[in-house]
Structure 1
Amino acid sequence: MRASYQYRLKPTAWQAKIIDNTLDMLRCQYNYQLGQRFEWLEQNRCSIDRCSLVVCHIPELKDKPNRFTQQASLTQLKKDRTWYKGIHSQVLQEVPKKVEIAFDRWLKGDANGKRSGKPRFKAKGQYKTFTYPQFKKEHLQNDQITLSKIGTIKVIVHRQIPDGFDIKTVSVTKKSDGYYITLSLDDKTVPTVKPDFDANNIVGIDVGLINFIVTSDNERVSAPKFLRKAERKLKSEQRRVSRRKKGSNRRKKAIKRLGIQHKKVADTRKDFHFKTAKKLLEKYDVIAVEKLNIKGLTKSKLAKSINDAGWGQFITILSNKAENAGLKVIAVNPNGTSQECSSCSSKVIKPLSQRMHNCPICHTNLCRDLNAAINIKARGTHALKAQSMSS
């Protein structure tokens, strides 16, 4: 079983400076190795799409940089730039791995074939995390952690690591309000939770902007709108940044204050998502949700409100918590859930501004969101039966 715990670090001023310098050096190396990849791609491109019968004008292909060749070059890097000796070797070797993942996701796509955007060079301050791929558990004692090349740092252990878990990796992250470590834990003796749920204890939920969720049992959770409520403070902090001279210490302080405000909004939203997911999973065994194209929805005029709601993060948290509890979250086709009548299945076209569902066929009269939630539950029940029959 794998788990991740995150704790806050309390480094001294000197240790904080070492962490900042490490991040900046890793950023430079990331940009250099990413540039090598782009250079290889450019050198192997050719405008000629066919060969002549007499003479072939296509040049010989260059060797493609990969993770292992770029890792091998780090030995010479430490000789040419001796200040890189201040970084633990395994931490430095993680940089080519990050570059390869970003580059391959752009050209080839991930395991599902989904391609990411073109990787960008990172500006100063944009490289925020480095990882120790191996870590000995004895280096974390009580409220102190020992990191190679940095030293022993105070850490706020707000919850104890469960017995039997080994620390596989340690990541150090710089955020707007300080430094954090993330411990990746593993205990092979703890079995993966097998699905054990009552298929009849199912609910459908419809996410929205007025009500965050409406269940098929007509329970509602109002949308908290954390970003909207914090807009005045955010605008004030943004104006403060705009008035400061670029490159000045006062501007850096203003940027830090702005970042803290944004982090506070994000943390509050995430906490709300966890608590909402917990309440649903305590009551239901199976939760049916819509498989929304959130990336497409955020291109509409409602983009700010949709991002503020954070539907994608909520569904991810709900799915992960359900899996850990042996419960089920099932995604269904969202097309027509609001237009289809939940009683007679007839199609009732209505604009988004119309919040009530009035069916002219069976005369069903209920809230638009509740009608959608009931349809989502019905589709989830159907999909669950199809899965059980196929297995």
Structure 2
Amino acid sequence: MRIAYQYKLRPTKEQADKIEKTLDMLRHQYNYMLAEKFNWWEQNRCPINACPLICHLPALKDRPTRFSQQKSLTQLKIDRPWYKQIHSQVLQEVPKRVELAFDRWLKGDSNGKRLGKPRFKRKGQYKTFTYPQFQQHHFVNNKVKLSKIGDVKVIVHRPIPDGFIIKTVSVTRKSNGYFVNFSLEDKSVPEIKPDIKRGRIVGIDVGLIDFFVTSDNESVPAPKYLRKSERKLKSAQRKVSRRKKGSKRRQKAIKQLAKKHRKVADTRKDFHFKTANQLLSNYDIVAVEKLNIKGMAKSRLAKSVHDAGWGQFNTILANKAEKAGQLIVEVKPHGTSVECSRCGNKVKKTLAQRKHNCPNCNLSIGRDLNAAINIKNRAKVLIKDLLPPVKFEAEQGTQLNLFAHQLKRKGIPC
């Protein structure tokens, strides 16, 4: 299992200057290598969609790959000796990052979806560099040893779990300081814990009024952190627009605006973590809808969808469930709000109708509660293949058969 832990750094002034210089030099190298990719693409692509049968074909140039660009780094350090201040493996991560961004634009990701054209990084936009190989003994006594930078103090607010090995280390600059991210791995952690209980299952239906409603009729109100901070954000944004471009006062106003946005994001993330912890402490299996959040974020409810942060919550919930050996089941969202959870009859309703009233079975419950029950019922069908079969010991025959009979009466597969 792979997890990530983030800690805040307390570098000295000299160490902070080294981090800033490293980021700026990596930014220049990123832009140079990306320009090489664009030049190759412009010189080898056909500007028209048709050509005569007999025409001159120019000689195609070799495509600059990740490995060919990595070989050029040796000559780079000879021509520009100040690049020796950067660790070699940190510098080798730049061609890898460029190739990933370029290929996702031309070929697409693993699902075949193409992303936007990569852009050149302006000053201050290159914010992270990575050490791909890290020794475990370089992080002791609340200090992390970063090559070419030194021993930097770390605020360790939680210890690294036993058995996990540090694989990679990344240093990130944010509006509120510098942070270090440890990528941890432990292959001994099982994907699903062996004593998982199929009966401890719940379905949740996320929304904008209530953050989610469970199938047990428990609800968590939406906190709406962005909406509550709009006045302060508007005031900070107005200060930025009034400052002269390129001035120090404008840069100071931009930093203040970034801190306010960071506070909103951190508060929302803290809420997601605490809500996920509470949910997983009460249930072993959580059923959620596989929503098209990106499509919903382009609708007229875009600001509220972004403010809720469903995508971030689903990621945190999945990561915490994997770490605890619990299970997250994704079901298709189509029809969960329309179908009756008791009889299956389809009752069409608008978004303004918050009650589900079925004329067939006279069921009258909340719209979100009805959807959560449907999500739970769909997940029960799916976990037959996801969970291993229940194993019973021979000597417990009568009691186990009675237990299995009780499970079937409750509709729980076993």
Q: TM bucket by the smaller chain?
A: over 0.9
2:371 aligned residue: 372
- Tell me the TM-score normalized by structure 1: 0.93
1:194 aligned residue: 192
Secondary structure of 1:160's counterpart equals: coil
2:109 aligned residue: 110
2:250 alignment partner AA: R
1:205 aligned residue: 204
| Cα distance in 2, alignment partners of residues 228 and 51 from structure 1 | 56
2:7 aligned residue: 7
1:338 aligned residue: 337
Secondary structure of 1:146's counterpart equals: strand
Indicate conservation of the 8 Å contact 1:51/1:58, yes or no. Answer: no
| Cα distance in 2, alignment partners of residues 201 and 158 from structure 1 | 32
* Pairwise CA distance, 1:206: 0.3
2:354 alignment partner AA: R
CA, structure 1 residues 143+372, in 2 after alignment: closer, same or farther (shift >3 Å)?
Answer: same
More displaced stretch, 368-377 vs 337-346: 337-346
CA, structure 1 residues 388+181, in 2 after alignment: closer, same or farther (shift >3 Å)?
Answer: closer
1:256 aligned residue: 255
* Pairwise CA distance, 1:47: 4.3
CA, structure 1 residues 100+178, in 2 after alignment: closer, same or farther (shift >3 Å)?
Answer: same
List per-residue Cα deviations over 1:202-225 (Å, max 9, x = no partner). 211100000000011100000011
* Pairwise CA distance, 1:49: 5.9
Indicate conservation of the 8 Å contact 1:211/1:222, yes or no. Answer: yes
| Cα distance in 2, alignment partners of residues 331 and 320 from structure 1 | 14
- Tell me the TM-score normalized by structure 2: 0.88
Secondary structure of 2:89's counterpart equals: helix
2:400 aligned residue: none
Indicate conservation of the 8 Å contact 2:167/2:183, yes or no. Answer: yes
| Cα distance in 2, alignment partners of residues 28 and 131 from structure 1 | 16
Matches within 5 A, 1:128-207: 128-188=127-187, 190-196=188-194, 197-207=196-206
1:25 aligned residue: 25
* Pairwise CA distance, 1:117: 2.3
More displaced stretch, 253-262 vs 75-84: 75-84
| Cα distance in 2, alignment partners of residues 159 and 251 from structure 1 | 37
1:325 aligned residue: 324
* Pairwise CA distance, 1:91: 0.8
List per-residue Cα deviations over 1:44-100 (Å, max 9, x = no partner). 1114667766x4433222111111100111111122222222211111111001111
Unaligned 5+ residue runs, structure 1?
none
Indicate conservation of the 8 Å contact 2:2/2:186, yes or no. Answer: yes
Matches within 5 A, 1:277-296: 277-296=276-295
| Cα distance in 2, alignment partners of residues 311 and 48 from structure 1 | 43
CA, structure 1 residues 151+163, in 2 after alignment: closer, same or farther (shift >3 Å)?
Answer: same
* Pairwise CA distance, 1:246: 1.4
Secondary structure of 2:253's counterpart equals: helix
List per-residue Cα deviations over 1:14-51 (Å, max 9, x = no partner). 22122112111111111111111111112111146677
CA, structure 1 residues 195+177, in 2 after alignment: closer, same or farther (shift >3 Å)?
Answer: same
Indicate conservation of the 8 Å contact 1:143/1:157, yes or no. Answer: yes
Matches within 5 A, 1:42-121: 42-47=42-47, 55-121=54-120
2:281 alignment partner AA: E
* Pairwise CA distance, 1:199: 2.3
| Cα distance in 2, alignment partners of residues 291 and 186 from structure 1 | 27
Query: How many residue pairs get matched?
Result: 388
* Pairwise CA distance, 1:371: 0.9
CA, structure 1 residues 143+326, in 2 after alignment: closer, same or farther (shift >3 Å)?
Answer: closer
* Pairwise CA distance, 1:245: 1.5
1:35 aligned residue: 35
Unaligned 5+ residue runs, structure 2?
390-414
Task: Quote the sequence identity (%).
Answer: 67
* Pairwise CA distance, 1:333: 0.9
List per-residue Cα deviations over 1:288-347 (Å, max 9, x = no partner). 111100000011111011000000111111111112222111111111211111122111
2:166 alignment partner AA: I
2:314 aligned residue: 315
Indicate conservation of the 8 Å contact 2:169/2:182, yes or no. Answer: yes
CA, structure 1 residues 74+339, in 2 after alignment: closer, same or farther (shift >3 Å)?
Answer: same
More displaced stretch, 1-10 vs 346-355: 1-10
